[in-house]
Structure 1
Amino acid sequence: MTGMPSDPRRRRAARHAGAATASPKKPITVDRITDAALQVVATEGYDALTIRRVAAVLGTGPSSLYAHIVTKDDIDDLLVGRLCAELVLPEPDPARWRTQILDAYTQIRDQYLKYPGVSRAALGMVPTNLDALRVRERLFAILLAGGIEPRTAAWALDALSLYVSAYALEQSLVQQRRKHPDDEWVLGREELVSRFSALPAETFPQTRRYAAELTSGSGHDRFEFTLGLLIDNLTRR
């Protein structure tokens, strides 16, 4: 071959020299696994997230990941922890606790919305990642600073977290379906008002009459409304 030494021993020596100067592969770390998992979710959606897919992004085989994870649940825990690590939460202020809680959960919502469907990773699991536990600790402290009884505060955390996760998941599903023209049921507000107004009056009198109200507000408007209902009710117990 052109450019290659003719002597087999010299060719072997050239190969060994090339191998010695080649850049070594980056080691598999928890941070790299998390980065790869977020990349998969951001570009392909949460449904595409598997250990095998994450390994492919890292340019390795699934077995290389098992020094750091055992199941996909471990990846979910890493994802939630990474998103929590990026939150900026204040010191609890008894005079501003409502605003602090609303702002914190708005940040969590926005983190989830960056990665379609990732809030599913937070559903049905108890966080063990230290970053997630630190966020929960701070949210709990804010509620306690607001004078909320401990058990009520603990249950409120679950209710608020569940709503935020479900809200973000619904938003990601709607966005996903809007990409497919065959999914005609994802309708705009004007079309919904038109359909509600055309329903039989004897069967749907209230839906016809209040079609505008039933379809009013953006998703985020309703998000703040619902959180407000939950938060304001805590002090009435």
Structure 2
Amino acid sequence: MLAEPAPYLRIAADLRRRISAGELRPGDRVPSTRALVRDWGVAMATAAKALSVLGEQGWVRAVPGSGTVVAERAPVKPPLGRDGLVRAAVALADAEGLAALSMRRLAAEVGVGPMALYRHVPDKDELLRLMADAALGEAELPEPGPVPWRPRLELAARAQWSAYRRHPWLAPILLNSLVRPPIVASGLRLVDWSLRALAGTGLRRRVKLQVIMTLNGWVGGLAVSNSFEVQTEQESGISGDQRLEADQSLLLGYLQSGRFPELAEVLTGLDDVDLDEAFEFGLRRQLDGIGVLLGEHQQG
């Protein structure tokens, strides 16, 4: 079950709905931060953040002496159709996470009634599959591409990682099952392109597939970790660095207790590990391991 969106996102969504429905017209004042605090029972900072998000998206603008008003021109809506809906859904998930994505919310974003969406997608599961297909399809896989296995698999891994970094919600959808992932054309294309790296190696078909599954699973697993952190930040408004800082005294107490001497030694003076740095290190080790497998097969 998806977590409930953060309070500032719910406030922003409600104001977008009112603007889309014509309850608030261009030039009308939107509720002030004080009014939002009163009506929603939130902190002043939360109310201000909701209005800031609407301003960044082009729904409202600040007018000196008049407060915040509905923008003269609402954001341009994508043309209604399956491709337009998918693009709008991807943009919404990128900005606010999957927790903010619902058929009703998407309908408000494109300016139609919720039932109109079902003429283009049968349900939310199909929408998520189409979103994943579109997002992973952005991966650049040149044709014919590198012939040697290592640069080809490295390029495939980097293409996936770039897609996951652009769309943090993508990895949990595609990695819902490593053995039976959702069928998306872009995913099949990626696997087929990667398998060509192992053509002529003499590996059995099952082993070839296991090599690609292992590499893709490792990239996706690292991306899922990033996805959870981004999702938590979107829902709570608290960054990973802020959470780490809040837990610093707890961690320090454990390290100073003497219970974890090896960990304490490794972490002493160590800066926070960067996720992209971890990707670079792990990718080299993954490719090295595949190289060992191929060497053993050739010797056998």
TM-score normalised over the length of structure 2: 0.58
Query: 1:236 maps to what in 2?
Result: 292
For the pair shown, which has the larger CA radius of gyration, 1 or 2? Answer: 1
Aligned partner of 1:171 in structure 2 is 226
Distance change (3 Å), C-alpha of 1:112 and 1:122: same
Is residue 2:256 matched to residue 1:199? yes
2:141 to 68, 83, 89: 89
1:1-237 mapped onto 2 (5 Å cutoff):
28-90=80-142, 91-95=144-148, 97-124=149-176, 126-144=181-199, 148-177=203-232, 179-180=237-238, 185-187=243-245, 195=252, 198-201=255-258, 203-212=259-268, 217-237=273-293
| Cα distance, 1:198–1:119 mapped onto 2, change above 3 Å | closer
Closer, same or farther: CA 183–73 of 1 in aligned 2, 3 Å: same
Q: What is the CA distance between 1:32 and its match in structure 2?
A: 0.7
Q: Letter of the aligned partner of 2:278 in structure 1?
A: R
1:26 Cα deviation after fit: 8.0
Which residue identity is paired with 1:199? Answer: Q
Question: What secondary structure sits across from 2:256 in the alignment?
Answer: coil
Check 1:197–1:27 CA distance in 2 against 1; reply closer, same or farther (3 A cut).
closer
Aligned length: 208
- Deviation string for 1:10-37 (max 9, x for gaps)? xxxxxxxxxxxxxxx9863221111111
In angstroms, what is the RMSD of aligned CA positions?
3.3
Which 5+ residue runs of structure 2 have no aligned equivalent?
Answer: 1-76, 294-300
**What secondary structure is seen at the aligned counterpart in 1 of 2:219?**
helix
Q: Distance in 1 between matches of 2:263 and 2:243?
A: 18
Structure 1 gap ranges (5+) = 1-24
The separation in 2 between residues aligned to 1:146 and 1:80, in whole angstroms, is 31
Q: Is the 8 A contact 1:46 1:116 kept in 2?
A: no
Change (3 A) 1:226 1:148: farther
Cα 1:154–1:30 shift into 2, 3 Å: same
Greater relative CO (CA pairs within 8 A, separation 6+): 1
| Conserved 8 A contact 1:117-1:168 | no
2:210 counterpart letter in structure 1: W
**Cα deviations by residue, 1:41-95 (Å, 9 ceiling, x for unpaired):** 1221122222222222221223222233222221122112112322211325442
Do the aligned residues in 2 keep the contact of 1:51 with 1:72 (CA within 8 Å)?
A: yes
Letter of the structure 1 residue corresponding to residue 83 of structure 2: D
Partners of 2:121 and 2:139 lie apart in 1 by 24
Q: Could you say if the C-alpha distance between residues 134 and 221 of structure 1 is closer, same or farther in structure 2, counting changes exceeding 3 Å?
A: same
- How far apart are 1:197 and its partner, in Å? 8.5
Provide the identity percentage: 25
| Alignment check: 8 A CA contact 1:140 1:153 kept | yes
Residue range with higher mean Cα deviation, 207-216 or 119-128: 207-216
Name the amino acid aligned to 1:136.
V
Amino acid at match of 2:99: D
C-alpha spacing 1:158/1:172, structure 2 compared with 1 (3 Å): same
Question: 1:187 deviation in Å?
Answer: 4.1
Q: Distance in 2 between matches of 1:26 and 1:219?
A: 34
Return the alpha-carbon distance in structure 2 between the equivalents of residues 83 and 120 of structure 1: 13
